[in-house]
């Protein structure tokens, strides 16, 4: 028995040798004797592990002071790390302001990195035009304005992902611009078009753009409805109250994708269609839609004009919804950097209250 235990912890002995010797011992002993020897061996393993368990302290290790719950002052440490990341952000950019073209080239790597960290990794599906959603019993036409029609439509994005929303199409004339109008996730496309209540008339920006002669496509976003998630009757702690956005964000994040990326892809698929029509392209959004408009314009230079409403702020990540977390984003990007990536293209930031989250 001693030779077996000794060989198991010899630096030169491999695990394969150890198991071969164990199998040989089993064949030579009856079951009761073998069980007793295994018990003795496990006790020796435990004693060996305890003898080797003294921690190694690195020279630069600093002890955390006492904090809430006896876990150390983690808030102070994390705040300091994030503050330092923001302080060092400027050092990670090498902008060339000698010309507009040189500026574009100098930030091209950052544009690519932004697309990568929000999960823009899938090739979009080309399409000729959106598909009208209609049945034998119902038409795709769900509303009309003075000189435009409102249709319920869908369009392919990538893989099996299909976006849905509303298309406001000018009637009897060619649109002079094409705009993706993105509502906040608390609002529906119908609300910013004026088909249902919930948004004041002066804030129904999709309708107002259509009245001005624009072709307007309004995507549907995942909302923030709160639900208890997790298998009922499995483990109490596994059932958590979370929004639909967070519920979809969690698995996507683990797989190198992001809910933000999925919804930005919806916008960019619309931009693909607009580009084929040779029309000036704009994106406008409010709240969560403003965030998506900002990201989309930062990564895609085909968007000529952008309007962001109810989103631009001093971005404090710990006060944001969890589903807005983007891996390593704070090291390179804040709202100011996103705006700078859109320049010198036109951008309008509407000053209005920004939604706060608990």
Inform me whether the pLDDT recorded for 7 exceeds 50: no
| Any domain includes 148 | yes
Domain housing 146: 131-350
| Any domain includes 72 | no
| Any domain includes 357 | no
| Any domain includes 81 | no
Which of residues 116 and 61 earns the better pLDDT score?
116
pLDDT mean across residues, the chain: 84
* Judgement on whether residues 185 and 295 belong to the same structural domain of the protein: yes
CA–CA separation, 154 and 163 (whole Å): 5
* Judgement on whether residues 23 and 148 belong to the same structural domain of the protein: no
The arithmetic mean of pLDDT across residues 254-277, rounded, is 94
* Judgement on whether residues 167 and 266 belong to the same structural domain of the protein: yes
CB burial of 286-316 (b: ≥16 within 10 Å; e: otherwise) equals bbbbbbbbbbbbbbbeebebbbbbbbbeebe
CA–CA separation, 264 and 44 (whole Å): 58
Inform me whether the pLDDT recorded for 326 exceeds 60: yes
| Residue 193 CB-density burial (10 A; 0-12 exposed, 13-18 middle, 19+ buried) | buried
The arithmetic mean of pLDDT across residues 119-147, rounded, is 94
Tokens of 213: 């002669």
Which of residues 239 and 117 earns the better pLDDT score?
117
Supply the pLDDT for residue 58: 66
**Percentage, residues of the chain above pLDDT 70:** 77
CA–CA separation, 79 and 85 (whole Å): 10
Lowest mean pLDDT among 8-12, 38-42, 166-170, 288-292: 8-12
Supply the pLDDT for residue 72: 60
**Percentage, residues of the chain above pLDDT 90:** 60
Per-residue confidence band for 239, with pLDDT thresholds at 50, 70 and 90: confident
* Judgement on whether residues 313 and 221 belong to the same structural domain of the protein: yes
Supply the pLDDT for residue 311: 92
The arithmetic mean of pLDDT across residues 226-253, rounded, is 84
Supply the pLDDT for residue 20: 44
Q: CATH number, domain at 297?
A: 3.40.50.1820
Count structural domains, the chain.
Answer: 2
* Judgement on whether residues 10 and 157 belong to the same structural domain of the protein: no
Supply the pLDDT for residue 249: 93
Inform me whether the pLDDT recorded for 46 exceeds 90: no
* Judgement on whether residues 7 and 150 belong to the same structural domain of the protein: no
* Judgement on whether residues 146 and 45 belong to the same structural domain of the protein: no
| Any domain includes 232 | yes
**pTM (2 decimals)?**
0.78
Q: How far apart are the first and last CA of the chain?
A: 62
| Any domain includes 304 | yes
* Judgement on whether residues 324 and 199 belong to the same structural domain of the protein: yes
């Amino acid at each position: 028995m001693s030779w077996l235990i000794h060989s198991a912890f010899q630096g030169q002995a491999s695990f394969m040798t150890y198991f071969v010797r164990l199998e040989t011992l089993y064949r030579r002993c009856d079951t009761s004797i073998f069980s007793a020897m295994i018990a003795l061996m496990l006790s020796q393993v435990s004693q060996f592990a305890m003898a080797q368990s003294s921690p190694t302290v690195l020279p630069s290790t600093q002890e955390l002071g006492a904090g809430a719950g006896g876990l150390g002052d983690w808030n102070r440490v994390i705040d300091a790390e994030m503050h330092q990341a923001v302080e060092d952000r400027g050092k990670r950019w090498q902008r060339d302001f000698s010309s507009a073209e040189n500026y574009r080239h100098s930030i091209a790597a950052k544009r690519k990195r932004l697309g990568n960290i929000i999960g823009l990794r899938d090739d979009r599906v080309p399409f000729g035009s959106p598909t009208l959603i209609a049945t034998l019993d119902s038409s795709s036409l769900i509303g009309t304005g003075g000189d435009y029609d409102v249709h319920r439509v869908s369009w392919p994005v990538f893989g099996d992902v299909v976006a849905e929303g509303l298309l406001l199409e000018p009637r009897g004339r060619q649109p002079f611009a094409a705009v993706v109008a993105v509502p906040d996730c608390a609002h529906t496309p119908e609300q910013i078009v004026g088909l249902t209540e919930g948004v004041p008339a002066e804030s129904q920006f999709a309708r107002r753009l259509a009245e001005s002669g624009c072709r307007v496509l309004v995507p549907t976003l995942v909302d923030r409805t709160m639900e208890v998630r997790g298998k009922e009757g499995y483990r109490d702690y596994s059932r958590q109250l979370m929004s639909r956005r967070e519920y979809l964000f969690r698995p996507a994040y683990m797989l190198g994708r992001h809910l933000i990326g999925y919804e930005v892809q919806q916008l960019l698929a619309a931009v693909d269609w607009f580009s084929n029509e040779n029309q000036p392209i704009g994106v406008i959004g409010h709240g969560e839609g403003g965030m998506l408009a900002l990201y989309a314009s930062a990564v895609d230079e085909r968007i000529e004009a952008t309007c962001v409403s109810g989103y631009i702020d001093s971005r404090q990540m710990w006060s944001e919804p969890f589903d807005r977390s983007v891996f390593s984003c704070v090291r390179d990007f804040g709202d100011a950097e996103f705006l700078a990536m859109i320049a010198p293209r036109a951008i309008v930031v509407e000053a209005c209250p920004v939604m706060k989250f608990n």
